[in-house]
Structure 1
């Protein structure tokens, strides 16, 4: 079903263990969402045998998330890009700064009034783009965009795989009510136990 809206944009800090596996912090509101564009890159290999395709493999490699937001704010810019806040509460971006991985969550409203929910498990953002324009005869809003690279997470799920995205459609048969009600209170963890949780 087509989506007609976007809201509830959150990020969750990631703490990495010695083995590289992630633990997610409490989700924090990032900004008011204007747009989210997600593109995916795959690794592809084809094995030919007996004059034909014997095997074909396509696996997630990485993705790009471009967010249009109303304002990034000093605290969020610090958390996402590694820019530092000085003693006068001024955000200082240095060439040595690099983004730290975070999880990104949001939801998209569908045309029937229900929502599609997302968590991207590991995103590293670059420096936000700034678009400015002088005021003319009409008012034009200038808003920042920030682009991040999506990676699979290091932590294995219950099927010994490395997920990169969780997606839930409100109203789907079998989707537990607590999954949706708790979506933005913590980063969703895959659950492959028989019957799942409700």
Structure 2
């Protein structure tokens, strides 16, 4: 069951060392003191073309992305790294000519179902934070700093953010998300049929069998229907009645016949080109397998 965001923790930064037509590179991520609040505000410019006395076309473009984080503390070495300052014998030294480096920013947010959402923002610079100090009173008040920055898309590939949810099929990077900045590319690989149960050309199959299609990757639940998955009699092409279900990892589709299959009968297992993965890639060719009951 999908959850809603209820938490924020594990804020990391990584210095961007390369971003050009040949690739990107980052230093190892470093954790910042406890995260309290986060706000990511992309600026989008929308233009509308009017024709025949009414709106006809719209076009949008992404501008800069404003980012603001409130944290428990910004240690001096972290300020030096994020803002281009220097350290000497435990002292932070700020020069008017200091230039903040581009960095990536990562964090995770707990959801109400106990799973986490993982995020990396790829390229941005932070501003010198405001400094506010207050005398200690009878009732203590916390003084927590805020980090404000502007993020943009990368020169290399135009990407600006990646997000992964633990409760999404196919997401396996939760344990390594902060080991290095996660670089991904669009999935353009179509799914393939890895195996079927019964196996192709199997004989003496029990008439009470179920049928399974096992794929190379998770399949979109939207395409799991009788138009894309079917079992038919080889002799006359009649479709076997039954129900379809999908495994938790979405890689296996199971067909359960409404009644036992006919004895000593050949059947065909079909998956059409309407089958697609979670990225929307359709299977390149229809797949047909055959088995014979006992």
TM-score range, shorter chain: 0.7 to 0.9
1:72 maps to 2:67: no
Indicate the SS of the match to 1:31.
Answer: coil
d(CA) in 1 for partners of 2:123, 2:217: 24
Q: Which residue is equivalent to 2:104?
A: 103
Q: How many residues align?
A: 190
Q: Which residue is equivalent to 1:163?
A: 159
d(CA) in 1 for partners of 2:63, 2:186: 23
Given the two structures, how large is their TM-score scaled by the length of structure 1?
Answer: 0.87
1:141-160 matches, within 5 Å, as 141-156=142-157
Q: Which residue is equivalent to 2:181?
A: 187
Report if aligned partners of 2:82, 2:103 keep a CA contact under 8 Å in 1. Answer: yes
Q: Which residue is equivalent to 1:55?
A: 57
Given the two structures, how large is their TM-score scaled by the length of structure 2?
Answer: 0.60
Q: Tell me by how many angstroms 1:182 deviates.
A: 1.7
Q: Tell me by how many angstroms 1:43 deviates.
A: 2.1
Q: Tell me by how many angstroms 1:95 deviates.
A: 2.3
After superposition, the CA RMSD in angstroms is: 2.2
d(CA) in 2 for partners of 1:197, 1:90: 53
Pick 1 or 2: higher relative contact order, CA cutoff 8 A, min separation 6: 1
d(CA) in 1 for partners of 2:217, 2:7: 28
Structure 1, unaligned runs of 5 or more = 157-161
Structure 2, unaligned runs of 5 or more = 192-215, 219-294
Q: For residues 61 and 197 of structure 1, do their structure 2 counterparts lie closer, same or farther at Cα, with a shift above 3 Å needed?
A: farther
